[in-house]
Amino acid sequence: MRYQVRTLSASNAIAVITVDAHDEEDARRQADNQALRAISVRPIATDRRLALSRATRFSLLLFSQEMLALVKAGLSLYEAIEALREKETAAEVCVVLDRLLAALREGRRFSVALAEQGSYFSPLYVGLMQAAEGTSDLPRSLARFVEYQKRVDSIRGKVVSASIYPLILMVVGAAVTIFLVCYVVPRFALVYQDTGRDLPWLSQVMISWGQLAAKYAWEFAGGAVASALAVSVGVHRLLRNGNVGRLASRLPAIGRHVQLYELSRLYITLGMLLEGGIPATSALETACATVSSATRGRLGTAGEQIRDGRPLSVAFEANGLTTTISLRMLRVGEQSGQLGAMLTQAAEFYDGDISRFVERFTKTFEPLLMTVIGLIVGLIVVLLYMPIFDLAGSLQ
């Protein structure tokens, strides 16, 4: 949150500064670090969307990769963050690093300092760093998170890449269709009116639609813009509420793989936390943030059963959080004492299945979409030229 701090310098000069702080005490502390004495602190109302956009500018993956390289090189935790602060130029990132350095100077634990900036550091990341403090193995925890984030980003990137080309095809196909109906068809209609001949029924319908679209062009344009805005707002709300996954999971061909993707994220998160030494119940609470609301309820029920003494494989099976293969792998992991590693292997198995499905779906869907667009455009062209063919035949 942003605070406006009225300060007094060593030369008794009054100045007003703006800082990003967790609370008023943190704002006063930041003023003290700049050799300024805080006279008054006032919060500044900020837009939540602006706060979220600032959070997205801080790359947690990049921060972890750079921290891992510096810690492996022999730097201490404080020295590594200080080195990152010295080379950083982005104001938002500098604020985050300054808060971490201030917290470490005050003797607070690294995980506590991270938790105080929850908009930048997820509960999963805080939990991993807390486990690293218990095992004194920070490089391993950082490496686990880097690998985890790369795998999640890889699957997400494949899905996004597979969606871009079909989206471009649909936009281009819609633009060509609108151009034909609104511009070309009305001009053919003028030609056919001068001939005085009866047109085929389908051609008459299409020409009527074209004339109507040309007559009310601005109204149609306004309706199209309003529809596009309504769709974008609806999609944004679905994404924000997490209902896109729920809707996609109900589709016949895609639903199963959407569920596998969610199970993959759940398994790799749990596996990473368990391998880091975090208890199963705490790991389940942290993993709740990585799944949808519907799965979160089932995961909470499974957590209660695990606390009552039931094995994780039994609790997951009872709440529909396993498949036939993953259930067997979980049982083997419990028997061998390597449950975290087995969860990670199950996630890798799911990731491979999802990657193959995305590739097959893309290769199948794109030709089908091109065929549909070609049929629509071809039908319009054929209906336009049918009266010309009929007229040519009568002249012969």
pLDDT, tens digit (0-9, with 9 covering 90-100), for 104-156: 888 888 888 888 887 788 877 887 887 777 777 788 888 888 888 887 787 77
Give the pLDDT of the chain (396 residues) as one tens digit per residue: 677 777 766 665 667 777 776 667 777 777 777 777 776 777 765 444 444 444 447 888 888 888 888 888 888 888 888 888 888 888 888 888 888 898 888 888 888 888 888 778 887 788 788 777 777 778 888 888 888 888 778 777 777 777 787 788 888 888 887 787 777 777 777 766 666 666 677 777 777 777 777 777 777 778 778 887 887 777 667 656 655 555 655 666 676 777 887 888 888 888 877 877 778 888 888 777 777 777 778 888 888 888 888 888 888 888 888 888 888 888 888 888 888 888 888 888 888 887 788 778 778 877 888 888 888 888 877 777 776 666 655 555
pTM of the model: 0.60
- Which class in CATH covers the domain with range 148-396? mainly alpha
Q: What are phi and psi of 42, to 5 degrees?
A: -130, 125
In terms of DSSP bridges, do strands 37-43 and 2-8 run parallel, antiparallel, or are they unpaired? antiparallel
How many whole angstroms from its chain centre is CA 262?
Answer: 13
Strands (E), the chain: 2-8, 14-20, 37-43
Model pLDDT, residue 50:
40
Other residues' Cβ atoms within 10 Å of the Cβ of residue 141? 24
Domain boundaries, the chain: 2-46, 53-147, 148-396
Cβ-contact 199, 387 below 8 angstroms: yes
Give the torsion through C-alpha atoms of 144, 145, 147, 151, to 10 deg.
Answer: 140
Is 144 exposed, middle or buried (CB count within 10 Å of its CB: 0-12, 13-18, 19+)? buried
Task: Identify which of 83, 94, 93, 89 has the alpha carbon closest to the alpha carbon of residue 58.
Answer: 93
Fold agreement between 53-147 and 148-396: yes
Fold of 53-147: Receptor-associated Protein (1.20.81)
Which residue has tokens 């009552």? 308
Positive or negative, the CA dihedral 350, 353, 359, 365 is negative
